Each structure stands twice: as structure tokens, then as C-alpha cells.
Amino acid sequence: MKNTLPWRPALALAASGLPAAAQTPAAVPGYTYGRKSLAKAPYTLADLASLKKTLLFTEDDERALRQSKAILADQTDAVLDVWYGFVASIPELVYYFGDAKTGKPDGAYLEAVRKRFAVWILDTAEAKYDQAWLDYQYEIGLRHNRLKKNKTDRANSVPQINFRYIPALTIPITTTLKPFLAKKGASTSDVEKMHAAWVKAVLLQSILWSQPYIRDGEF
């Protein structure tokens, strides 16, 4: 896994589909936000409120996230090109999209995840923190964990994404997002506020996504 170049064709393939923004979320396979079939999250809205307080996450952050939505709406594909490029540059990360037997990255799997990732950007910017949102965070966590990874896309990939990378990805995701937040004429101060809100929002989600990895009673 030392040479990252062999991974690149499959990652490029994943970028060659329909622009995600051209699809309505409901048409994205495996996107089940709001579905009644989802399990209820094992954490409550009160737990969420306590976490937001700890994260210094306020209504100002919600406003900043919503400001970012219009800015990002037609840039999700460009953002994903950067994020997939970043993953492609780190063998330890592209590994999680690899075939469990051959190790070769799975183009179809990468593409399926990418479409949901585009919708996720706008959902995060929407900042609507209700029970449906909470239940979908739990679902996303399960899909990273061995409990449910690969099932949504019927992929033959490795059985889990290790916990350690989930909170860690907060940094590259929000660092590489910042230039896109600045591309539509927002003031420097507003870009800083949107970036700070995104860091909190992604870290918050990564904590909720980690729940399936945590020993019973310790979350």
C-alpha cells in the first residue's frame, strides 16, 4: 500500500457519474434520512443538547451553517473531488473502500458513497437537529461500523472503518471546505464563522457516529 497511484483510477471513476447536485436526495440509493424504517437512536435530544453545550455550539453556529448551504449548493461535486483526492492520497484511508479479497478499490462502492456524501454536505448545512436527524446519525454510524458497513451498497469491502479515523476526518473535511466557503463573496469574518461552525458540526456528528464502537454503558 506504499504507492497510492494504483488507487487513483477507481477514485477518478467514482467522480465520473452524474453530478450529485443533479439528483434529488430521494433518488440517491441508500439515502434513508427520515424513513420510518430507521432504528431509533440510542441517544436522545437531551443528550444532543448537552453535547452541543459542551461543544460551544450555539444558534449562531446554526445560522452560519445555514448561510453556508447556499454557498455550497452548486459546489458539492468540486468539494467531493478534493475530499476523494485526499482519501486517494492516504493508503490507510482508501483501504476502507477496497475489496476485502483483492484490496483493489471498489469503483461502484466509491461512487455510491459519493452520491450520499454530496447530500450529506447540504444536510449538515441545513442544521436541523430533530429526532429524524438523530436517527439518521445513528444509521450513518452503523454503516461505518462492522454492524452495517457494506450492506447498503452490497459491497465486498473490508468489514469496518476503524474508529480512530472517524473523529480525525473532521480536520481534513473542514480544512479543505474553507476555500469553498470563501468562493461566493462572504466576508472574511463570515467565512471564519462558517468554518468554525462546520468544525463543531462535523465533530458532533463524528461523536454520534462513534456510538456503535463504544463499550456498553460507556458512550
Binds its own copies by CB under 8 A, chosen from 118, 127, 199, 202: 199
Q: Which among 11-19, 47-55, 111-119, 124-132 is the span making contact with its own copies, rule CB under 8 A?
A: 47-55
In the bound state with its own copies, the residue whose beta carbon lies nearer, of 45 and 56, is: 56
- Residue partners of 121: CB distance under 8 A and separation at least 6: 72, 76, 79
- Residue partners of 130: CB distance under 8 A and separation at least 6: 45
Can you tell me the distance from the alpha carbon of 86 to that of 94, in angstroms, rounded to the nearest whole number? Answer: 9
Does residue 76 bind its own copies (CB under 8 A)?
A: no
Specify which residues 99 forms β-bridges with.
Answer: 157
Binds its own copies by CB under 8 A, chosen from 53, 128, 151, 154: 53
Pair 144, 209: CB distance under 8 Å: yes
Can you tell me the distance from the alpha carbon of 144 to that of 76, in angstroms, rounded to the nearest whole number? Answer: 22
Does residue 210 bind its own copies (CB under 8 A)?
A: yes
Binds its own copies by CB under 8 A, chosen from 44, 54, 131, 156: 54
Residues in contact with its own copies by CB under 8 A are 43, 47, 50-51, 53-57, 90, 92-93, 145-146, 160, 162-165, 167-172, 175, 199-200, 203-204, 206-207, 210, 213-215, 218-219
